[in-house]
Amino acid sequence: MTNNNANEVPLMFQAPVRGRGQIQYIQNPEKFERWVDEWVEGAATDVPQFSNNIRTKEYKITWRFVSNSGQNEDMIRPVIAAKGFPFYPGASMKGAFLRACTPEQAQRYCGGKLHSSDTQPGFLRFHGGYPKDATWGEQKLIDVVHPQQDWQVKNNSGHSAFIQISLYQPTLVFGISSTETLETIEWETIWSIWDKAIERGIGSRVSAGYGQPMNHSHTKLVTVNLCGQGLASKLIDRTGEFRPNMFKAALRNHTLRLFSGVTDENTAEELTRELWGGFAGLKGAVVGQLGIAFHAVDLEMKAYRYGKVAVPIYELNSGILNIVCMGNFLEEYKKELKNLALLILRFSMLLGGFGKSWRRIDHSLFFPEYEKHPIGCHWEFTKQSNKYYFPVNRLNHITNILDFAYNTVNNWLKLKGKNPSNKVSSWRESFHPQKVQVWGRIAEDEDDSLAVKWFHCNYKENKSIKSSSLTGKMGQIGRIWHRMYPHYIKTKEGEIRRKGREYVELLTIFPDKNDEKTQDFLKFIETSQFTKLWGE
């Protein structure tokens, strides 16, 4: 074992009490690493094998897979089979399979109640899933979960990181057997049901991109091709990782911002939770109607160096983002759900980006003379998805686009039987015309960002917004977003095409009316090249 005392009980077998097996609130990461090292070292290297009467099929997971054993309160630890191998339980597999069945299929394959009080067993047996090989133990297994909704949107309240153990991009092999002899065509039906089941994700945190297979032919609502660059998240050992859960975080938070602009805060939270899942107090967990699945087709991880510091960054040359439907709904409702999901995605791309530092433009691209720590990100639709750009033939078309977004979420209120509210939300980033202002201009190319220098230098004589409540500072979220949106127009033939190398430079501001620096800046921007496009 790797622990210092050969006679000491491994952490996974210690009671999770303070000072012993309890590790969640220990600041020193070595204890997490020890837990994992002890597990991997003690686990068998021989892959579990299904017997000959069990049919198997393998699926590649696009990012991470987490199964929660429920055995520790302080850490989400995996379900572990005999000899230490991680696995996905057969009972969980059966539950997922059932949810993808028609009532008739459920009765036949999984059993259930008859017309009387008797029950009839199904003839399928679900044996769960195992990693295809032992390489799972060679990957980074310590995973950080960092909820930030209140911090980002509402009121700058505190936020915490949590630890879980997850497998990185495993190939899982699943087993199913039957107590009856079945024809090949019926086995094809059975596996097609499991295909549908696994498309909704398996394990925990599936709506955030965990446990997602490569294909989503049955569940996808929206599919877009993206490219982007920016700062990568850090794992507990300080190495960088491109983490697709950032897409759900951005989309969920923008959903909350949009809903809080048209209705009261409780209804905004309720509708957002219904769409993306969450916890509803005494009602417990709510499974959302939407989830994300992301496949990084062409991804490069690099290190940005300044001085003696190295910061992990990513360059995603090509990736496929799916917004998936997590439930069985009527086609008419799914159509409305798709329209709303697509609007939220396009809104996110219009005004910001995804991941760390999404409120700022990527300085390496738009302000290369800035040579300190990296700032910002930049995202674009790739050529296959150019149709999803909002065309901006004239600058005031941004006004129409934001009105369209506002009306779309209002229509969703009507669909759900909810009432709009005349009361303006107290949240910092509520997208209400009395809470937000959007300013814009046309930039000739990537070297023509006017506002980027305002974040670092005086914008006028001795006036500065650097490290103010408007721009934010360490421990405080700012109130301004900056975006260089690729400038696309709609031709007379109806084609969406890029207009030269131009960008639409956008500033989204949530003003603090009591902050003098903010008010001075708003007076200045009225005299600049920017035009107010939305807000009062």
Q: At how many degrees (to 10) do helices 265-276 and 397-415 cross?
A: 80
The mean-pLDDT minimum among 159-168, 418-427, 433-442 falls in 159-168
In this structure, are 188 and 320 located in the same domain? no
Query: Confidence band (pLDDT; 50, 70, 90) for 121?
Result: confident
Residue type, 148: Q
31 — alpha (psi -120 to 50), left (phi > 0) or beta?
A: alpha
The mean-pLDDT minimum among 67-76, 82-91, 168-177, 246-255 falls in 67-76
Q: At how many degrees (to 10) do helices 397-415 and 331-351 cross?
A: 150
Query: Confidence band (pLDDT; 50, 70, 90) for 29?
Result: low
Task: Answer yes or no: is pLDDT of 63 > 80.
Answer: yes
Domain span at residue 494 reads 221-534
Task: Answer yes or no: is pLDDT of 13 > 50.
Answer: no
To the nearest whole number, what is the mean pLDDT of the chain? 89
Task: Answer yes or no: is pLDDT of 39 > 70.
Answer: yes
Task: Answer yes or no: is pLDDT of 459 > 50.
Answer: yes
In this structure, is residue 7 part of a structural domain?
no
What pLDDT was estimated at residue 118?
A: 74
In this structure, are 156 and 240 located in the same domain? no
In this structure, are 516 and 396 located in the same domain? yes
Query: Confidence band (pLDDT; 50, 70, 90) for 150?
Result: low
C-alpha span between 238 and 235 (Å, rounded): 5
- What does the angle CA 384 – CA 390 – CA 393 come to, to the nearest 5 degrees? 115
Q: 232-270, pLDDT tens digit by residue?
A: 998 888 889 999 999 999 999 999 999 999 999 999 999
In this structure, are 353 and 481 located in the same domain? yes
Average pLDDT over residues 97-101: 94
Query: Confidence band (pLDDT; 50, 70, 90) for 65?
Result: very high
- What does the angle CA 104 – CA 106 – CA 108 come to, to the nearest 5 degrees? 70
In this structure, are 299 and 158 located in the same domain? no
Eight-class DSSP state of 86 = B
Token pair belonging to 456: 């670092």
In this structure, is residue 9 part of a structural domain?
no
In this structure, are 485 and 444 located in the same domain? yes
In this structure, are 321 and 252 located in the same domain? yes
In this structure, are 414 and 387 located in the same domain? yes
- Single residue among 212, 243, 264 that ends a domain in this structure: 212
Average pLDDT over residues 422-450: 95
Please say whether the beta carbons of 299 and 316 come within 8 A.
yes
Q: 215-225, pLDDT tens digit by residue?
A: 999 999 999 99
- Single residue among 164, 186, 212 that ends a domain in this structure: 212
In this structure, are 276 and 177 located in the same domain? no
Q: Which of 411, 405, 295, 297 is nearest to 346 (CA)?
A: 405
- Single residue among 212, 247, 264 that ends a domain in this structure: 212
Task: Answer yes or no: is pLDDT of 30 > 60.
Answer: yes
In this structure, is residue 483 part of a structural domain?
yes
Alpha carbon of residue 331 to chain centroid: 25
Task: Answer yes or no: is pLDDT of 23 > 50.
Answer: no
In this structure, are 481 and 444 located in the same domain? yes
Count structural domains, the chain.
2
In this structure, is residue 163 part of a structural domain?
yes
In this structure, are 234 and 156 located in the same domain? no
- What does the angle CA 345 – CA 300 – CA 162 come to, to the nearest 5 degrees? 65
In this structure, are 259 and 361 located in the same domain? yes
The mean-pLDDT minimum among 82-86, 287-291, 359-363 falls in 82-86
In this structure, is residue 148 part of a structural domain?
yes
In this structure, is residue 527 part of a structural domain?
yes
In this structure, is residue 32 part of a structural domain?
no
In this structure, is residue 17 part of a structural domain?
no
* 488 to 43, 98, 362, 403, 504: CA distances (angstroms): 54, 46, 20, 19, 9
Please say whether the beta carbons of 301 and 232 come within 8 A.
yes
